[in-house]
Amino acid sequence: MESVAMTQPSIGADATTLKETTLIYRQSRWTRLTHWLWAISLFFMLLSGLQIFNARPQLYIGKQSGFEYNNTVFAIGAENTTTGPRGYTEIFGHRFDTTGVLGWSGPAGQETSRAFPSWATIPSYYDLGTARVVHFFFAWILTATLVVWLVASLVNGHLRRDLAPRLDDLKRLPQDIIDHAKLRFHHTREYNTLQKMAYGGVLFVLLPLMIITGLAMSPSMNSVLPWLNEVLGGRQTARTIHFTVMLLLVGFFIIHMLMILAAGPINELRSIITGWYRTDPPAHDDKPAERSV
């Protein structure tokens, strides 16, 4: 199934030339299934995680939370001012007014003091217990999906063929950066270098780090892996890393969406739903520079 390709004629911008575009089977069912399980899990984990954060909207560095000393690196809160309550966000001691979104938010006239606004949390009202139920349910789904994907990708060659870095990737990196900056996308069977870095970074760095720092916050797991928090710098540092990796994953998601929109959302979505992807027609002889690798 992997190598099946269908060639069909389609009308190009210049109606007089008949361009050959090719539909290739690009994403295996394992890649597509795990992709959507991750999408669902991460959606619920993010929004339940923000609810959990709201229970203690401060991040610290070290083994414990400084109540009588200051090791806070990030805080969201609300304060009374002469013009009424304001929400603020404090990063390394620098305070920003974030009224309406972070710290103080809600429908007009019914604002409340809450770190992340109700539209960004599950449940929308304050409920730490329920958020934990949702968070840990999807933590299992996410982790199981990661294991299934890893095994399937080792077996079906997805890892070796599509994600493993090659010397060639390094060579084409500068051109890839230029192409992305100019929103000039090549639709090929292979991932480009930046794609490999992004997908590999999420799957082999960010998601494992998320799981590890999640476990490091568990007092029962601390008795199994007591060295884990020592490596990470303490339970509260682990919590801060957990939050930071969340921000990086959200950053990945935003770029992922923008790239899909820019590269052609129908084609990109089709490939991750049905597996079939329309590649660029072979470049014309008078434009050899645009031939994709």
Partner 1 sequence: MAKFQISRRKFLTGASLGVSGIMLSGCDAFDSQLGMGDGLRSFLENANSLTYRAQRLLAGRDALAPEFSEADIRQPQRPNGVTAPDDDTYKGLLANNFADWRLEVTGLVEKPLSLSREQLQNMPSRTQITRHDCVEGWSCIAKWTGTPLSLVLDQAVVKPEARYVMFHCLDTIDRSLAGEIKYYGSIDLIDARHPQTILAYGLNGKPLPVENGAPLRVRVERQLGYKMPKYLYKIELVDSFANVGGGRGGYWEDNGYDWYGGI
Q: Give the separation between CA 167 and CA 180, rounded to whole angstroms.
A: 20
CB of residue 119 vs partner 1: minimum separation in angstroms?
4
Q: Which two tokens stand for residue 196?
A: 């490999």
Number of residues that bind partner 1 (CB under 8 A): 54
Judged by CB under 8 A, which of 107, 109, 129, 288 binds partner 1?
129
Strands (E), 165-285: 276-279
Stretch in the footprint of partner 1 (CB under 8 A) among 63-71, 76-84, 182-190, 205-213: 63-71
Residue 133 is a binding residue for partner 1 (CB under 8 A): yes
- Helical (H) or strand (E) element with 142: helix 128-156
DSSP state of 283: P
The set of residues, in sequence order, having a beta carbon less than 8 Å from that of 252 and lying 6+ positions away, is 198, 201, 202, 206
At closest approach, how far in Å is the CB of 200 from partner 1? 25
- Exactly one of 21, 22, 130, 244 binds partner 1 (CB under 8 A); which one? 130
Structure tokens belonging to residue 215: 């476990």
CA dihedral sign, ordered 240, 241, 245, 251:
positive
Answer yes or no whether residue 52 interacts with partner 1 by CB under 8 A. Answer: yes
Q: How far apart are the first and last CA of the chain?
A: 23
Cα 11 from Cα 5, distance rounded (Å): 19
Q: Of the candidates 86, 132, 189, 256, which one interacts with partner 1 according to CB under 8 A?
A: 132
- Which residues from 252-271 bind partner 1, rule CB under 8 A? 265-266, 269-270
Q: Is residue 213 within the footprint of partner 1 (CB under 8 A)?
A: no
Burial of 200 (0-12, 13-18, 19+ CB in 10 A): middle
One residue of 5, 7, 79, 136 binding partner 1 per CB under 8 A = 136
- State the Cα torsion 93-95-99-101 to the nearest 10°: -50
Min separation Cβ 196 and partner 1, Å: 25
Select from 95-103, 116-124, 146-154, 183-191 the region that touches partner 1 (CB under 8 A): 116-124
**Which residues bind to partner 1, rule: CB under 8 A?**
47, 52-53, 55-56, 58, 60, 63-69, 118-125, 127-130, 132-134, 136-137, 139-140, 214-215, 217-224, 226, 229, 235-236, 239, 265-266, 269-270, 273-274
